[in-house]
Structure 1
């Protein structure tokens, strides 16, 4: 049996759906049964929901019982390192054979992971896991295509989205592609001691993304380049906590310093997953970008 933590989040839900599509059983660790119900996990065939807290080993007995492989996901928060390291300890004590860390790697060439607190935390946890005495694998996707869904309200209302990236390239990857890789990795095992980076199939500026969005939804979409200070004000005004905005400022500053992006599809190829082009992702969500749902 395999276990996935963080199952009610963006990636966790996608991975649960992939297990259900494939007719393969999986256990999902959730902290809140009501949230899992709202997320639709309780209606997925083959998904066993077990309550527990990654930070508290005393709550994890039922979740870890009989588990061979774990995919470890948790929220990007100030306590991510402590949360995941405690969970690694619990996995070792429970006799889990293989922990797959859902990590992250920026696609920008020369990006210094130590300059952004969450990639820095990911690397700290990776090192801890590597020394824990279990088989380990790091699954390291770059930016998710799904982050552009946050811009759907202004795209629908104004035909525009507002970011502070200038002509910087990114190589966003579809969360559905990541879910397919994660499913195969958990089902089949192997790849111990490997770090599996993933990007999407294209290095794109925001102007490129606007053009692809326009083609996908059948209406003009503009990218409006704003200053980092304007972006910060917009995030704070929308209710994003100040400490999280601080982290996003770190990420943005390093992206702007490293404007060229790599494309890395070796992980897609290794697991037989076709890389989703951005235009296909945008077509899949065209109703949202047009303000129709």
Structure 2
């Protein structure tokens, strides 16, 4: 029994090692010749291509086909370790994170690695997880990025209960959805199909950690500039030629501004309203309730 336990421990330690490959040989051609990419591993890379940075529980949600719950994380960790070993992804283990419900938990975070970057066709390896002095460092934006993914999960799961399907969710959707010369890049765009009424709705989401304009109490210059861009897009005729506008009950997406900072009130919602934007501004813990209120309002139209 002890011998079997030692073998398991040795295997786990080996899984966390990386192949020592000279920098000049660490290329996509090398990977194509030496790495077997199963369908599950490809799906992990596709998820990172879309989401950029993920906690393991978030990855498990977005890839539900890994198996039953008891074995799901084991399969995920095995494939993550294999991809990390050959530089397809970077990972940080036992990182303390606040979950959506306020709980604090040590968990694993993953991002695209150097070879993975080449594999998906990105021009640069952004090094969202850095290795330094035997440890790992997450980017300053990690909490914000992971919160956007939490918002997606909360949105999808709650709307299921209301018989509403999230048919599309795009993270950092400026280039894919908005495409305006002012380069507005919302944190997320999502489209909904209400199976109760047959109506379609659209929304933008902005998640605010309170760090932007954090020294401001009455004026928020950076946030104001972003809301000005939203107004420009709303007044842009080309927007209303898009299918996502013509097919939606609300021709311009509703804006959910979700914040962790109580000091944003009452000024920020007043600024957004002054730009003629249909919006919901709320604290993070109130988001799901406000999402429900939005659906009820849209159904009543």
Do they superpose with TM above 0.5?
no
| TM-score normalised over the length of structure 2 | 0.29
Return the structure number with greater relative CO, CA threshold 8 A, min gap 6. 1
Say which structure is richer in strand: 2
